[in-house]
């Protein structure tokens, strides 16, 4: 397969970290609430290549869109949304941003990093059951703190609309009184009608990479709903030639369809289509809950890394590919064809939050003492 790099040429005309006027792709210019500006933060276009994942049916041709490579500390799908959200914050004269998520939130880490790059202060409301003194700064939380983010612990099961959003509003009011500058609130995952344009543009990138010619089905992991909203709406607006699937790692199909339908209403498309017609939500793979994984999951992620050199985290991409492998083996009829594109949304820093460390120490330890190898009859070296 050959993929175009037209996007890279266009991006080279804009300096990294620059805020510039945004012109939407021609096929979505008519949408309501289009952003006016964009920040150059993501390293795009991200590549597409074959992915020889163990356990797939032999006739399946699987490729991966490497949105885990959108940057270093900004890696993953979140940065595409933040290009529009943070540009909007700056255009509105804000001096800081406030967002929320889990303790190991990829979105919150990416927000802290990108905000630092653009000169904004960051405030994070993070869900946790632990006391402040018991929190360990590892993984995404460590990087957020390296970027000087202000972290506020909130109840682990706090809902956005009724508990987190009011806290954001109260914090924004306090920041305005203290600094004289407004703070910009960002919802969970940056998955609103502004952040939506991150993956409408990613779809335009995929069109340049001939996604409609080379694939039948596109699969993405779904946590807050913004990425799948952009991809499914983009596919719809450009002819709906592919079947779009989302593996849910939290909530259920009804929740995500409701979220996408709200997006459709905000951008003026609700009279044309509905979420149920443009995306297939795959349930049954969140396991014991959001962010909870098992030793069996860890073994799968290890095998994927060993066989392909691609890392999948225990919250998002790992459960997404697990769901795809399973559904291809037990429920093949839900898919359109045999040419699949998995959009890897990142999450590598979630591997550093210690949940997998015990597994590797007990079951997958491949660290040897050189003296023991030389002494062992079954060692790698002949005496």
Residues with a catalytic annotation lie at 105
Q: Is the dihedral of CA 330, 332, 334, 340 positive or negative?
A: positive
Q: Looking at 181-235, which runs of residues are DSSP E strands?
A: 183-185, 217-222
Q: Is the dihedral of CA 291, 296, 302, 303 positive or negative?
A: negative
Beta bridge partners of 245: 219, 280
Beta bridge partners of 246: 220, 281
The DSSP code sequence of 51-88 is: ---TT--TT-EEEEEEGGGS-STT-STHHHHHHHHHHH
Q: Is the dihedral of CA 118, 119, 125, 129 positive or negative?
A: positive
The two tokens of residue 119 are 């000169």
- The answer to whether the CB of 264 falls within 8 A of the CB of 306 is no
In whole angstroms, give the CA distance from residue 356 to residue 371: 28
DSSP state of 156: T
Q: What angle do CA 191, 193, 195 make, to 5 degrees?
A: 50
- The answer to whether the CB of 242 falls within 8 A of the CB of 218 is yes
């Amino acid at each position: 397969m050959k993929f175009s790099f037209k996007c890279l040429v266009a991006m080279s005309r804009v300096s990294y970290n620059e805020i510039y006027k945004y012109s939407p792709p021609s096929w979505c210019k008519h949408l309501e609430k289009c952003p006016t500006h964009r920040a150059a933060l993501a390293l795009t276009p991200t590549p597409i290549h074959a992915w020889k994942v163990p356990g797939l049916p032999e006739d399946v041709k699987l490729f991966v869109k490497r949105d885990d490579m959108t940057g270093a500390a900004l890696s993953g799908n979140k940065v595409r949304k933040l290009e529009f959200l943070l540009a909007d914050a700056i255009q509105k004269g804000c001096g800081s941003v406030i967002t929320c998520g889990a303790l190991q939130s990829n979105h919150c880490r990416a927000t802290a990093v990108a905000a630092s790059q653009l000169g904004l202060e960051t405030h994070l409301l993070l869900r946790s059951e632990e006391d402040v003194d018991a929190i360990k700064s590892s993984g995404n939380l460590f990087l957020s703190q390296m970027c000087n983010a202000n972290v506020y612990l909130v109840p682990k099961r706090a809902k956005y609309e009724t508990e987190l959003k009011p806290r954001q509003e109260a914090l924004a009011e306090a920041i305005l009184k203290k600094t004289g500058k407004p703070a910009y609130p960002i919802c969970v995952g940056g998955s609103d009608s502004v952040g939506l344009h991150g993956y409408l543009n990613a779809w335009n990138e995929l069109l340049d990479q001939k996604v409609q010619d080379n694939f039948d089905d596109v699969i993405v992991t779904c946590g807050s709903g913004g990425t799948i909203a952009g991809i499914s709406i983009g596919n719809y607006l450009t002819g709906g030639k592919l079947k779009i699937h989302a593996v849910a790692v939290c909530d259920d199909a009804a929740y995500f369809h409701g979220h996408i339908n709200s997006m459709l209403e905000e951008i003026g498309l609700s009279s044309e289509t509905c979420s149920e017609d443009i995306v297939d939500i795959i349930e049954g793979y969140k396991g014991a809950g959001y962010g909870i994984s098992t030793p069996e999951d860890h073994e799968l992620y290890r095998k994927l890394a060993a066989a392909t050199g691609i890392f999948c985290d225990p919250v998002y991409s790992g459960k997404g590919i697990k769901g795809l492998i399973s559904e291809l083996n037990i429920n093949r009829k839900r898919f359109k064809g045999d040419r699949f594109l998995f959009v890897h949304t990142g999450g590598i820093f979630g591997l550093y939050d210690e949940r997998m460390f015990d597994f590797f120490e007990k079951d997958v330890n491949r660290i040897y003492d050189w003296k023991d190898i030389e002494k062992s009859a079954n060692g790698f070296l002949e005496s």
